């Protein structure tokens, strides 16, 4: 299966605007069924799914035998989703299956642990940015917002091993910033902080220190935050959902340069 997908995007700097075809890594769901019963869904880049499965079952103490498993594969080439049906004799199932424990990777993959592909659906109205909001007037303030976030990243300065999320108001006022070893956890902490402060409605810009996956876009959408700006790359599924939800998604935002992946009408 394809591991990359090409998207139309806009590369913007203070002096130029260029439309181009950008290649993104594919993020797609893999549903794992054990003995015809849904067990979990993991987000991954397609390829070597059976190896991923064996490693996961081993780590979760579900199946550690050397014998090969019977695996039935169902692929949907349209959305890159895959279902693996694994047959494991009941007497060979490890304690991990009996415990029904979710995946080890929850700190970095918020969707991991859901049982079926249909669980990925998110309900809600698409977000709409104000018509008079232009990126040309916003590009200078993005660097300032990142500087404010960076100054608050004390955990990263001490360890170099944490991610950060910051949420700003429509006039670039810093509302909250949090750090965590998991990108999605940092987002959850920021949203939770604003809920506790009764300021979630003020959230307009979400800045993240790493890449953007499907889960971060969905969290921003549910929090009704219409702009996501990331230091690093965006996954294919993140762009798909941002377009669907009406979120303005920006990646590779560094040194007055950025790549726009969705909702470019605000600068046209």
- Can 109 be counted among the known catalytic residues? yes
Tell me the per-residue pLDDT of 217-250, one tens digit each, with 9 for 90 and over.
Answer: 989 998 999 999 999 999 998 999 899 888 999 9
Domain-by-domain residue ranges, the chain? 28-120, 124-267
Facing residues of 6 across strands? 23
Contact 57, 30 (CB under 8 A): no
pLDDT over threshold 50, residue 102? no
Q: Average per-residue pLDDT in the chain?
A: 82
pLDDT at 3: 85
pLDDT over threshold 50, residue 105? no
Q: How far is CA 243 from CA 3, 128, 265, in A?
A: 20, 11, 12
pTM, two decimals, is 0.76
Q: Does domain 124-267 have CATH number 3.40.1030.10?
A: no
Q: Which helix (H) or strand (E) holds 167?
A: strand 163-168
Mind giving me the DSSP string for 208-244? ESS-B-HHHHHHHHHTT--EEEESS-B-HHHHHHHHH
pLDDT over threshold 70, residue 137? no
Question: CB atoms < 10 A from the CB of 242, how many?
Answer: 27
Would you state the structure tokens that stand for residue 62, as one six-digit string? 């579900």
Tell me the per-residue pLDDT of 65-86, one tens digit each, with 9 for 90 and over.
Answer: 878 888 898 877 666 678 999 9
pLDDT at 48: 82
Tell me the per-residue pLDDT of 109-127, one tens digit each, with 9 for 90 and over.
Answer: 554 455 554 555 666 666 6
Catalytic residue, chosen from 109, 112, 165, 234, is 109
Q: Where are the beta strands (DSSP E) in 27-151?
A: 28-34, 37-44, 70-76, 81-87
């Amino acid at each position: 299966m394809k591991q990359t997908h090409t998207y139309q995007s806009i590369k913007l700097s203070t002096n130029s605007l260029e439309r181009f075809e950008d290649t993104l890594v594919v993020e797609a769901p893999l549903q794992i069924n054990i003995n015809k019963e849904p067990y979990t869904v993991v987000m991954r880049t397609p390829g070597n799914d059976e190896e991923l499965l064996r490693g996961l079952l081993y780590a979760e103490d579900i199946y550690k035998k050397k014998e090969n498993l019977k695996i039935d594969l169902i692929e949907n080439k349209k959305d890159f989703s895959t279902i693996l049906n694994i047959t494991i004799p009941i007497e060979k199932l490890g304690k991990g299956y009996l415990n029904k424990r979710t995946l080890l990777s929850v700190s970095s993959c918020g969707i991991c642990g859901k049982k079926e592909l249909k669980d990925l659906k998110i309900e809600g109205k698409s977000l709409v940015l104000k018509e008079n909001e232009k990126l040309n007037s916003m590009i200078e303030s993005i660097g300032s917002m990142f500087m404010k976030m960076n100054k608050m990243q004390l955990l990263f300065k001490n360890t170099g091993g944490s991610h950060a999320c910051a949420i700003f108001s429509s006039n670039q006022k810093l509302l909250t910033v949090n750090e965590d070893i998991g990108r999605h956890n940092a987002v959850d902490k920021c949203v939770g902080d604003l809920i506790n402060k009764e300021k979630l409605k003020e959230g307009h810009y979400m800045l993240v220190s790493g890449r953007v996956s499907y889960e971060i876009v969905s969290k921003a959408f549910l929090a009704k935050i219409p702009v996501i700006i990331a230091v690093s790359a965006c996954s294919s599924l993140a762009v798909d959902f941002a377009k669907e939800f009406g979120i303005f998604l920006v990646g590779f935002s560094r040194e007055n340069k950025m790549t726009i992946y969705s909702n470019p009408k605000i600068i046209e």
